[in-house]
Amino acid sequence: MSHDPRPSDDQQTAEAGGDDDSPLALPRVVTTRVVGQTLAMAQDLAEFLIAPELDEADATLYVLCERMAPSEFGATVAGYTHPTLDLAVRDQIDKWHPQGWRGRGPAIVINERMIHKFCPNPFDFRHRFLSTAIHELAHVCERSPMVETRYPPAVAVEHLEEQLDKRYISPADQGLPAFHLHELQFFRALLHLKYRANRANYALLCSIGGAFSSHGLSDAELYWNALGDEAELLFCAGLGNVMQTDPPAALVELFKSDSERLISKVVQTRRERQSANSDSNAGSGKFVGPGRERGQAAAASR
Ligand SMILES: [Zn+2]
């Protein structure tokens, strides 16, 4: 049951501004049609951006919406991907994807319901949806191979279920640094993808700034400067090959300094919590075992 007071997408379709009397009217709310158009746009953009890698690996890229995917995955995140996700959602790809299943390849799921909660108008919705697609595509590009082929299908799906949390828990709540699961190569791939999206005239339709700030890093502007002219020089190279080369020294240095700062912040927070716990235990005169903090973390992760 949802506590969201806004109407469901189906109700919104009936109330869509696209059917407004004025011939110049644009939709005022996110309609099913806007979701479909944005999904097709995300598929085209993502496929275009990594076309060389897909050709080289003879793979197909699949972009799906959350409502098309099994509901137990990623219901609390804006998007997700995994090297074996295509196998887990193969039936859904066959059912929903315009061309159906065409063999193994990277899959991305974008949670349109979650994005809609934060971006109720179609322009913000489209922007956030495409930005999320670029984010997930950077995860696809940072891994090698893009598609996990070591396991037979049944094992691969099991592997994904083990790896993919069914409920998002922020790094802070897990006692981890804010950039958890987002390392230097992810941000490097993200910068390259954004550069390529800009060259393809998608500059205004997606942004990557939020990926840096939300993971506690310095401004995207500083990262652009640290990347130097790498994105321009390697514009025509497949990103898989770019990722095999050494990153620019300035980029390594900037990420190192950001990550060290974030790790020391986590260490400091842990020390403060431990010292607060030992103070309160000393004050109460009661012994509380070492499992206390672990127990609290376990409660938060349920
Ligand atoms: Zn991510």
Q: Under the phi-then-psi rule, with left for phi > 0, alpha for psi from -120 to 50, and beta for the rest, what region is 263? A: alpha
pLDDT of residue 14: 31
Q: How far is the CA of 12 from the centre of ligand 1 (A)?
A: 30
Q: How far is the CA of 81 from the centre of ligand 1 (A)?
A: 9
**Average pLDDT of span 118-130:** 94
**247 has pLDDT over 80:** yes
Q: How far is the CA of 138 from the centre of ligand 1 (A)?
A: 8
Q: How far is the CA of 95 from the centre of ligand 1 (A)?
A: 27
Q: How far is the CA of 23 from the centre of ligand 1 (A)?
A: 40
Q: How far is the CA of 32 from the centre of ligand 1 (A)?
A: 26
**Average pLDDT of span 223-251:** 95
Q: How far is the CA of 27 from the centre of ligand 1 (A)?
A: 30
Mean pLDDT is lowest, of 11-20, 90-99, 115-124, for 11-20
Where exactly are the structural domains of the chain? Answer: 1-168, 170-276
Burial group, residue 139, by CB count within 10 angstroms (0-12, 13-18, 19+): buried
Q: How far is the CA of 43 from the centre of ligand 1 (A)?
A: 18
